[in-house]
Amino acid sequence: MSVNPEGQAAAKPPKDHISIKVFGVGGAGLSVMEQMIGTGFPGVQFIAVSTDDKSLAASTAPEKIKLETKLLRGLGTGGDPERAREAAEEAQPTLSALCAGSDVIFILAGLGGGAGTGIGPVLARVAKEAGALVLGFVTLPFDCEGRRRQALAQQGLAALKAAADGVICLPNQKIFKLIDENTSVVETFKITNTLLAGGAQGVWRLLAHSGLIEIHFADFCALLRDRHAESSFGVAEASGPARARAVLDKLLAHPLLEGGEVLLKSEAVLVSVMGGPDLTMTEVHRVMEEIQGRCGHAQVIMGAAIDPAFNDRLAVTLISAGKGCEPADDHGPGSSGQRDEFDTPLLPGSDTARTGSRFMPPPPALPQEKLEQLFTKQRTGAPKKSVTRLRQTQLPLEIISKGRFDKSEPTIHKGEDLDVPTYIRRGVALN
């Protein structure tokens, strides 16, 4: 363990046998990577990848890769994922060389635009071919950003899930649970970057720290490799005597875990507990008992590590992997093999071919007299039939006696005998 100039204990370096590289792709991906660089990840190599000169110039990553084609000319993709995908395909040898020898590769990107949506799936495929475990950390657009960006983001997400081992996705719309109406736009995007960087940092802790209860790299790979799943994550940290209860409350309040509902649908859950030398077994048991009680039938892999820098602190990282999806045949949105959602037929096609001509012959010619008769009927209309109106009458039955009403006077109103039924007085026929 090293000590920085201020006298504070520095974080442990990563395990020597695990090589981790982080690729920030596009403007949103570079913003998340800047958040990670500022936090500090010893032993991690950061690489900035973009088609835009301005975003690369603002990045502090030690290595920068500019993807270029004759069409782009350093001005970016203009929001077109196809242009970014073509640039990534042309730069495949360069990307392959960067991915060579890596055990784990993180891809940070924002989906819905051009660079992240188009480059991310190609980079994931190249990294997989290099033998690395590939994890994507991506954001999805706000609803207010429009249907086009939402559609592009979903296409990019499907392509990335098909190429990577796992994708941790943060829909920006869920950030509304953490902000109020006075939160500025700049602060809102800073929160999304912090959350996504926190997820990547949690995974890095799993891999970089030797634990008392260790999660082996092979177990981590077996959990995610070839699942092609969309994963959810939660990272929480607390301190003080009631830190176990506090970290659980923060974890379940994480917007991506939806109060723990995500855990019920999970197939596998990975939990890492990080604390200082004062971490007690009771605290570890309390945390794991609560999480396992919410995981249903999911496979739970647990690890616990001690870091002197976490004295009086407790951090929990949770990764939930859902059901996987089948890999797609294409390598990204906009490729020739990909089918646009607007090209899907609304009705199933018929198995039988349509035969015969659609030409309708004209009607046969009529004599002049017949035409005049038709025109006359149209002008005058058909003669109305006379309708015989039925009238209701009484049966000719002799009334012998009215009983006790025999001496009663009839009820006359406006010349009508109200003792006679209405339908008879008004001539309404009953049928």
Q: What is the CATH number of the domain that holds 25?
A: 3.40.50.1440
Q: Among 203-207, 278-282, 297-301, 350-354, which is the least confidently predicted range?
A: 350-354
**Final residue in a domain of this structure, among 277, 301, 327:** 327
**Is 251 among the domain residues?**
yes
| pLDDT given for residue 397 in this prediction | 58
- Top-confidence residue, 198 or 247: 247
**Is 155 among the domain residues?**
yes
- Within this chain, do residues 195 and 250 fall inside the same structural domain, yes or no? no
**Is 417 among the domain residues?**
no
- First-residue to last-residue Cα distance in the chain: 103
The reported pTM is 0.66
| Mean pLDDT across the chain | 76
Query: How far is the C-alpha of 275 from the C-alpha of 318, rounded, in Å?
Result: 15
- When pLDDT is cut at 50, 70 and 90, the band that residue 21 belongs to is very high
| pLDDT given for residue 323 in this prediction | 57
Based on the structure, what is the number of domains in the chain?
2
347 has a pLDDT exceeding 50: no
Domain assignment of residue 282, given as a range = 232-327
- Within this chain, do residues 201 and 280 fall inside the same structural domain, yes or no? no
Query: How far is the C-alpha of 309 from the C-alpha of 423, rounded, in Å?
Result: 99
- Within this chain, do residues 122 and 81 fall inside the same structural domain, yes or no? yes
Nearest to 188 by CA among 144, 232, 154: 144
- 251: domain CATH number is 3.30.1330.20
Amino acid at 29: G
Secondary structure, 3-state, 135-165: EEEEEECCHHHCHHHHHHHHHHHHHHHHHCC
Query: How far is the C-alpha of 31 from the C-alpha of 77, rounded, in Å?
Result: 18
- Within this chain, do residues 193 and 242 fall inside the same structural domain, yes or no? no
Whole-Å CA distances, 424 to 139, 337, 389, 393: 80, 81, 14, 6
Mean pLDDT of 373-389: 61
- Within this chain, do residues 33 and 182 fall inside the same structural domain, yes or no? yes
Nearest to 302 by CA among 323, 347, 271: 271
**Is 322 among the domain residues?**
yes
